[in-house]
Structure 1
Amino acid sequence: MSSRRYLPTDPWTSEVPREPFIPDRIWVYSEPNGGRDLIEINRVTDPERWSAEVAANVPIITQVNMGKPIEPGETLVPTSSCSMPSLVTDMLDALGPQPGDGILEIGAGTGWNAARLAVRVGGGGHVVTVEVDPELAETALKNLAEFGSTACVVTADGLQGCAEDAPYERIIATCAIRERIPVAWLDQLSPGGRIIAPWGTEFFTGCMLTADADDEGCVTGRFSGDLAFMRARSQLHAFYDYEPAVEVKRSAPWETTSHTGTETLDAVLDPSRARFAISTRVPDLGLTIAWDLFGDRHHSIELDDWATKSWAQLAAHMDSGEPYEVRQHGPRRLWDEIEAALTWWQDHDQPGMDRFGITACPSDGRQWLWLDDPDHSMRVLVH
């Protein structure tokens, strides 16, 4: 039987069961590999399927469309979930909480994670979980109370942390942050503390950031893995693509590039190849992929920057042997920037994600991405 059907057998999962924290109404992906269609399952009408999904090592969607009433035919967009247990276990292991620690969690969700953290730190520690959605916060509070957990739920923007109970030895986020480590987290982290958070850019979907504070509070971290979490809600606006008017698109002429076949597109889009490096070189670069838009294996790659109203579309035919074509609009030539970053990656021994890091110094507010060593800055995030 597939490992998908089993919850992890680690202490994190055995100490606190998942089922008491899952609502009666849930949504799951239509395919085991994360097919985009969502299927609603109700514990009342289909208890066997509900129980099977909750007992599986899969993410459970617990809220869609910000909790608003769903109209017939409306597209379902996941807005809260109980994440894949094995993935969260990896994050909790990396966090390494100890008895007596103070823990700040961003994204209470169902409350399951906070309950597990509270068990681990014991009576001498404390767990504060921050949830921006009042309805979700109320549900998490109810679940934690019924389970008998000591974790505290705060309704607020998690990117602002919770100064009232700071400092914290550990900070963990179950929502993704965009590029910069929130200043409030840096201020509320104890010297020697650790931050675990899903991290990404507009061009690179996500990975896990593991960052440690030195005795002066300066935080330095590395990236690992391939994981995608829902974006922190106060950063959701960054997902809105810039789409020029139809007449503007038509006025942008198609130009021939020097690239053909699969190699360039594979390198640009593969997180294990150039995609992460490109995201460190090129700022504010949104990405939309439309597979087979122009025909079988003839894909469209759109790039955009809302701030400068720049846009580019690449037409890449994988099998024809014909060069890719691109059209660009706006002050930034976005595909040209991609090509330059790709050339940099090729000229520097094709560095992988594990060679990059981030440093943030609350004393002077600076944050920057680097290669191999903090002294080798790649891109300054905050001056």
Structure 2
Amino acid sequence: MVQTLNWGPKARLLADSLRESGDIKSQRVYEAVAATPRHLFVPKYFLNAGGVPTLWQERTERDGAEWVDPIYSNTSLVTELGSGKEVGDGWHGVPTSSSTVPSLTARMLDDLGIQPTDTVLDAGLGTGYQAALILKLVDVPSQLVASDIGGTEVARERLESLGYQPRIIEADATSWSWQRQFDKIIFSFGLPYVTHTVRKALAPGGKLIANVFGPLSAGLVLLEAQSDGTLMGRFTKDGGSFMPARRDATPEQSDLSERSEGISDIPIEDFESYHLKFLLSTRFPGLDLQYAVVDGRQVRRLVLPDGRWGEVTYRDGSQARGVYQDQGQGFWDVVEQMWAWWVANSKPTWDHFGLTVGREGQHTLWYHTPDGDSWNVPTAQLG
């Protein structure tokens, strides 16, 4: 069925739906989506069937329409489960790889504006579907270099079945010494920050698009290489979401002997804002938000990779104020300050911010313009 499926009308319907939703703006990206058989890149995937822990149901071509219909819809498809364990009518496991939701891929390709003569780095080859779309946008396959940290052979075979033979490198795109520059770079995994090797790989005037500062709430930033070697650009209106880069480094643990407590003014509902969580993530890389109910009271705990944490407990059902505890060298004071700035500036969204990456690797988040309010992003904490 994989080879004989009449996929053309399905792919064009997917392209039509993405154009109608505004996720595709250019004719070239529309034609790339309409002319690419996504099903060849996801012969097997897992759908979330709910439950705790999550039950994942496997879908293959044997399932007919139940397999193919989600493929040609605007759906992210989990393709690998870490420590996957078969249980009854499904699987338990943690998603480790996926085929990105088509609307996000389309927006990123549109924002990059890939031209037929551009050289492109596809960082995070994955299933190979995004690479196949890029190959529709450039003149010849040799203009594309794709990389992934492992498991590239399957994607290579899928691309070759369509007549494509781009250069594929099995490496960590964030640290590989590229020995060349690219006109466009696209990351399809969460990038903790823009590394020195990535910055150097972007040609002057070139553009890079990536989801940065996750995993709690990553922003999608479009950066352009300046003549002085810095990168600068704005965050897009839509943040998108990618699985974070796989990293082995364990952060050095902080001293947790200093402890404080007090009254927090942060309403519980503000912890649901992707935009506040994004702002906090730029100040505290690797930040995680945990939810709990203790003695009937709602608790929101923020945890850092080095062990520091702070939490607020909302008393007597109140959603406005709570008691916080901080075991992290004044960590919660900074959280309150960032929240107060965000509220005072009418709770700005991703697209009100921009980013500058300096020649020495310093990351500066700025508000509205590079001359506006700004913060240094402490990327050294991420190794």
- Give me the TM-score of the superposition, normalised by structure 2: 0.80
The CA deviation string for residues 207-231 of structure 1, in whole angstroms up to 9 with x for no partner, is: 2111111223321021121322100
Residue 107 (structure 2) aligns with = 90
Report if the CA contact (8 A) 1:289-1:299 is conserved.
no
AA in 2 matched with 1:277:
L
Q: How many residues align?
A: 351
Q: Is the 8 A contact 1:241 1:304 kept in 2?
A: no
Counterparts of 1:270 and 1:28, CA distance in 2: 26
Residues 50, 340 of structure 1: alpha-carbon distance in 2 compared, 3 angstrom cutoff: same
Cα pair 1:177 1:199 within 8 Å, conserved: yes
Task: State the secondary structure of the residue aligned to 1:93.
Answer: helix
- Please list, as runs of the form range in 1=range in 2, the aligned pairs for 1:35-74 lying within 5 A after superposition: 37-43=54-60, 45-65=62-82, 70=85
Deviations 1:169-196 (A, max 9, x none): 0000000111x21211111111000001
Which amino acid is the alignment partner of residue 123 of structure 1?
Answer: V
Check 1:122–1:147 CA distance in 2 against 1; reply closer, same or farther (3 A cut): same
Partners of 2:199 and 2:231 within 8 A in 1: yes
Q: Equivalents in 2 of 1:321, 1:358: separation in Å?
A: 33
Aligned residues of 1:288 and 1:302 also touching (Cα < 8 A)? yes
Which residue of the other structure, out of 354, 370, 374, is the alignment partner of 1:374? Answer: 370
The residue type paired with residue 26 of structure 1 is Y
Change (3 A) 1:357 1:168: same
Bigger mean CA offset, 313-322 vs 154-163: 313-322
User: Alpha-carbon deviation of 1:38?
Assistant: 4.5
SS at match of 2:206: strand
- Equivalent of 1:223, from 235, 244, 252? 235
Quote the residue 1:3 is aligned against.
none
Name the SS for the 2:93 alignment partner: coil
Which deviates the most, 189-198 or 313-322? 313-322
- Give the 3 Å change call, closer, same or farther, for CA 13–199 of structure 1 in structure 2: same
Amino acid in the other structure paired with 1:223: F
1:322, distance to aligned residue in structure 2 (A)? 7.9
What is aligned with 2:226?
A: 214
In structure 2, relative to structure 1, the CA distance for the partners of 1:236 and 1:209 (3 Å cut) is farther
Partner of 1:283: 284
CA distance in 2 between counterparts of 1:285 and 1:325 reads 24
Question: 1:62 & 1:342 partners in 2: Cα distance?
Answer: 37
Match of 1:108 among 122, 125, 137: 125
Contact 2:190 2:214 in 1 (8 A): no
| Structure 1 gap segments, 5+ residues each | 1-5
Out of 270, 273, 279, which is 1:270 matched to?
Answer: 273
Gap regions ≥5 residues in structure 2: 1-12, 17-29
- The answer for the alignment partner of 1:138 in structure 2 is 153
- Which secondary structure does the structure 1 equivalent of 2:15 belong to? coil
> Which of 21, 37, 48 in structure 1 is aligned with 2:41?
21
2:182 to 155, 168, 172: 168
Question: Where does residue 217 of structure 2 map in the other structure?
Answer: 205
Shift of 1:121: 0.6
| C-alpha spacing 1:43/1:269, structure 2 compared with 1 (3 Å) | closer
The whole-number CA distance in structure 2 between the counterparts of 1:241 and 1:290 is 23
| Alignment check: 8 A CA contact 2:364 2:375 kept | yes
Q: CA deviation at 1:199?
A: 1.4
RMSD of the alignment, in Å?
A: 3.3
Please report how far the alpha carbon of residue 94 of structure 1 lies from its aligned counterpart in structure 2 after TM superposition.
0.7
Q: 1:26/1:312 Cα in 2 relative to 1: closer, same or farther (>3 Å)?
A: same
1-side partners of 2:74 and 2:122: how far apart?
22
TM-score (norm 1): 0.80
| Partner Cα separation in structure 1 for residue 316 and residue 273 of structure 2 | 15
Map Cα deviations across residues 145-178 of structure 1 (whole Å, 9 max, x no partner): 11111322210112125614x2100000000111
> What secondary structure is seen at the aligned counterpart in 1 of 2:105?
helix
Name the counterpart of 2:341: 344
CA distance in 2, matches of 1:231, 1:187: 22
Amino acid at match of 1:357: G
Residues 100 and 264 (structure 1), Cα distance of their counterparts in 2 relative to 1, 3 Å cut:
same
Q: 1:181 to 1:264 in 2, by over 3 A?
A: same
Aligned sequence identity (%): 25
Worse-matched range after superposition: 208-217 or 84-93: 208-217
Q: How is 1:249-268 mapped onto 2 (pairs within 5 angstroms)?
A: 255=261, 257-259=263-265, 264-268=267-271
